[in-house]
Amino acid sequence: MKKILFVCHGNICRSPMAEYVMKDLVKKSGLEEEFQIASAATSREKIGNPIYPPARRKLAEHGIPCESHAARQLRNHDYEEYDLIIGMDKANLRNMYRICGGDFNDKMHLLMEYAGRPEQEVADPCYTDDFDATWRDVLEGCQGLLDHLKCRG
């Protein structure tokens, strides 16, 4: 089983969007039994909060359900539990390294690496208010990630 953890600053917009988009793509591919997918925050600011309502609406527009979600913070032991820890931007990646004590097994990556744009970050819609752009980036990154994982067997 491949275990993937998506990470953003607060775990209320980008990382839960990626979590539920990836779950939807995996389900549509008939691979549900092969994946465990979750999300977390690098900060403690929003712990326990649900998905931000505009992010929830954007998922619903595309027919993607998001079960009950409560934001949680990335923990050091998540590094051992997950095969991949995928950040949305470079600040997330720096904080992921700090929380986990480094990346000794090449598990930490940016989502847009899988869309062929390793320098691009998924913009935070809490600041940009552009949930359409975030949706496009998250979808493209998750599709690329799934393709990458299917190719690796």
Query: What is the rounded distance in angstroms from the CA atom of residue 153 to the CA atom of residue 145?
Result: 12
The verdict on whether 78 is a catalytic residue reads no
Nearest to 21 by CA among 48, 51, 45, 47: 51
Q: 145: exposed, middle or buried (C-beta count within 10 Å: 0-12, 13-18, 19+)?
A: buried
Which of 8, 13, 66, 126 is an active site residue?
8
Distance (Å, rounded) from C-alpha 21 to C-alpha 23?
5
Catalytic residue among 78, 89, 124, 137: 124
Q: Let me know if 136 is a catalytic residue.
A: no
CB atoms within 10 A of CB 153: 4
Residue 40's contacts (CB-CB under 8 Å, 6 or more residues apart) are 5, 6, 7, 11, 15, 72, 73, 74, 75, 78
Element of type H or E holding 3: strand 2-8
Active-site entry in 13, 14, 78, 137: 14
Give catalytic status of residue 56 as yes or no.
no
Active centre residues (catalytic): 8, 14, 124
